[in-house]
């Protein structure tokens, strides 16, 4: 089972690498990895397990954060609007279209691979369409908005060696862009 010690931290070259496409059908090993990744995120949101294993409460994870150079990511969090969990295990994800409008988390972003706080707004597309494959090899097409769109873009950035703070305007970190709206 994965714990925080398996997650590489800022400064490790693995976080600045462009990850390789996963060959399909996925191997037993890659299936195990993406299942371990989802289990880690679920564990991190379980108060008892998170306390016992000292896990930060996560909502998404990309394989490069485990120093695994493969285009795989997981997303899992409770969506209040849907009143249900949003759960995705995505292989070779690609943003195939996006809104012009941008959005951002008013509190800024953090990262499981970054131990210190780096204040500032991270502007992302408000709505995206993502194509990829699920672990069963089925092609999936996801239309994401609000927090789900932010998490997906944060994780896809990891597959391209991009960190959230690369997007912060260091002249004026909390200045919203003109066509951007906060996601509460």
Asked if 74 and 61 count as a contact pair (C-beta separation under 8 A), the reply is yes
98 annotated binding-site participant: no
Closer to ligand UDB by Cβ: residue 23 or 87:
87
Q: In this structure, what token pair is assigned to residue 183?
A: 């996601």
Segment near Zn ion (CB under 5 A); pick from 3-11, 12-20, 23-31, 108-116:
108-116
Closer to Zn ion by Cβ: residue 54 or 83:
54
Provide Rg for the chain, Cα atoms: 16
Q: Residue 33: CB partners within 8 Å, gap ≥ 6?
A: 63, 66, 68, 70, 72
158 annotated binding-site participant: yes
Establish whether 155 is a catalytic residue. Answer: yes
Closer to ligand UDB by Cβ: residue 45 or 99:
45
Closer to ligand UDB by Cβ: residue 101 or 136:
101
**Residue 150 touching Zn ion (CB under 5 A):** no
45 contact choice in ligand UDB, Zn ion, none (CB below 5 to 8 Å, kind-dependent):
ligand UDB
Which DSSP category does 26 fall into? P
**Residue 111 touching Zn ion (CB under 5 A):** yes
CA–CA distance, 98 with 129 (Å, rounded to integer): 6
70 contact choice in ligand UDB, Zn ion, none (CB below 5 to 8 Å, kind-dependent):
none
167 annotated binding-site participant: no
Q: Residue numbers of the site for ligand UDB (CB under 6 A)? A: 45, 56-62, 65, 77, 109-112, 150-151, 154-155, 158
Which DSSP category does 44 fall into? H
CA–CA distance, 183 with 129 (Å, rounded to integer): 18
Least distance between Zn ion and beta carbon 16 (Å): 13
Q: In this structure, what token pair is assigned to residue 67?
A: 């120093």
Ramachandran area for residue 146 (φ above 0: left; ψ -120 to 50: alpha; else beta): left
Catalytic residues: 155
Residues that bind Zn ion (CB under 5 A): 111
Binding residues: 111, 154, 158
């Amino acid at each position: 089972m994965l714990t925080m010690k398996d997650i590489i931290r800022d400064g490790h070259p693995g976080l600045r690498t462009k990850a390789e496409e996963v060959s399909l059908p996925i191997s037993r090993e890659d299936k195990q990895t993406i299942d371990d990744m989802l289990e880690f995120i679920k564990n991190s949101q379980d108060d008892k397990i998170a306390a016992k294993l000292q896990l930060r409460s996560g909502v998404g994870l990309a394989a490069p954060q485990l120093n695994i150079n493969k285009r795989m990511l997981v997303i899992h969090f409770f969506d209040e609007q849907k009143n249900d969990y949003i759960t995705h295990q995505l292989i070779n994800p690609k943003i195939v279209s996006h809104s012009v409008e941008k959005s951002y988390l008013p509190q800024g972003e953090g990262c499981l691979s970054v131990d210190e706080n780096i204040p500032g707004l991270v502007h992302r597309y408000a709505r995206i369409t993502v194509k990829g494959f699920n672990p069963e090899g089925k092609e999936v097409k996801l239309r994401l908005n609000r927090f789900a769109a932010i998490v997906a873009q944060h994780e896809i950035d990891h597959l391209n060696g991009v960190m959230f703070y690369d997007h912060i305007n260091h002249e004026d970190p909390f200045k919203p862009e003109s066509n951007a709206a906060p996601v509460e």
